[in-house]
Amino acid sequence: METYHDNWNACLLFRNKQLTKQLKEYQNASVLAECSSSLLVSLGQLLRLHQNPSYGIIREETEWTNLFTVIDMFYGGCLSEQLSSYGLSMQELKVCYLIRARLGNKAIAVLFNITPCSVLKAKQRIKGKLTLSAADCLDKYIQIG
């Protein structure tokens, strides 16, 4: 039992270091990029999604559009262009962008006020539209681009 807790603590410490490093990179990039105020707001929303996801962080479609831009800036490429030929709905595209931003099922569920099982089901539907095999991992596919 002690080993389990030690391993879990080590994993959490490692993830904390990763996110702290990402936060510093985001802060540096925002200063260097001279972003518009709306993109800076989206950057703050992305940080909140990573640190403390909650329902209602992103309320309007313009906020989603700005968040897409920020995620494209930090995670490479224009995901919406890469996925445009697959006929994804706007909700499915939002899920894909959140996956690209490396948010987990639980964080995505909290953001949309749904259950983690609903997120898994949405991911299965997206995977089907992208014609990925059962062995393929949607998260990796989206994150690698």
Span 43-100, pLDDT tens digits: 899 999 999 999 999 999 999 999 999 999 888 889 999 999 999 999 999 999 999 9
Helix (H, G, I), strand (E, B) or coil at 124: helix
Helix (H, G, I), strand (E, B) or coil at 36: coil
Query: What local confidence, expressed as pLDDT, does residue 134 receive?
Result: 87
* CA 78/CA 68 separation, integer angstroms: 8
| 144-to-22, 82, 93, 102, 109 alpha-carbon distances in Å | 17, 11, 16, 11, 22
- Residue 133 CA to chain centroid, in angstroms? 22
Amino acid at 90: M
Query: What local confidence, expressed as pLDDT, does residue 3 receive?
Result: 75
Query: For the whole model, what pTM was predicted?
Result: 0.75
pLDDT: is 87 or 1 the higher one?
87
Amino acid at 52: N
Percent of the chain with pLDDT over 70: 91
Query: What local confidence, expressed as pLDDT, does residue 108 receive?
Result: 97
Pick from 75-79, 126-130, 139-143: least confident = 75-79
* CA 19/CA 45 separation, integer angstroms: 15
Quick one: which of 80, 81, 107 has its CA closest to 96? 80
pLDDT: is 4 or 56 the higher one?
56
Query: What local confidence, expressed as pLDDT, does residue 39 receive?
Result: 84
19: pLDDT strictly greater than 80:
yes
